[in-house]
Amino acid sequence: MLNDQQTAQLKQVLVDAERRVLQSAQSALELTREGPTDGGRDSIDQSNSEELVSTALRLRDREQKLLTKIREALGRLAEGVIDECEMCGGPIVFRRLLVRPVTTLCIDCKERSEEDERRAPPTENLPTGGADAAEDWPES
């Protein structure tokens, strides 16, 4: 069980992450809105512009997923269950939550999950983008 200081620290980490994601999403949205129209540009410029917009949209989608995970973590924090593993019900240590506050698995269950993924046939071993996927939580 987290103490009041740990809860406050974790909440600040999540709120800061939420703010960063929202700022990044806003920047991507502005980029797609400010993109020049086709008037007078050659096909290479048009292609580059379309690729830029496509990349921005993919990033926005990814940021939306991360934002959902952050808000779910804030909800679990408010309910007092953020430090409970969804798989085994055991504790998730505070240090792990600080590093990856959107996690829903204790380290033992996460390691078991990764081992199961490694043993799965290649067609079933596609990235799931789960709460602990490395690409989902930005380095800070």
pLDDT above 70 covers what percent of the chain?
76
Q: List the chain domain ranges.
A: 4-135
Which pLDDT band holds residue 140 (cuts at 50, 70, 90)? very low
**Least confident residue range of 8-22, 33-47, 120-134:** 120-134
Which pLDDT band holds residue 29 (cuts at 50, 70, 90)? low
CATH topology of domain 4-135: Four Helix Bundle (Hemerythrin (Met), subunit A) (1.20.120)
What is the model's pLDDT at position 66? 92
Return contacts of 67-74, CB within 8 angstroms, 24+ apart: 67/18, 67/21, 67/22, 67/25, 69/102, 69/131, 69/136, 70/14, 70/17, 70/18, 70/21, 70/101, 70/102, 71/18, 72/102, 73/14, 73/101, 73/102, 74/11, 74/14, 74/15, 74/18
pLDDT over 90 (residue 98): yes
Q: Considering the entire predicted model, what is its pTM?
A: 0.69
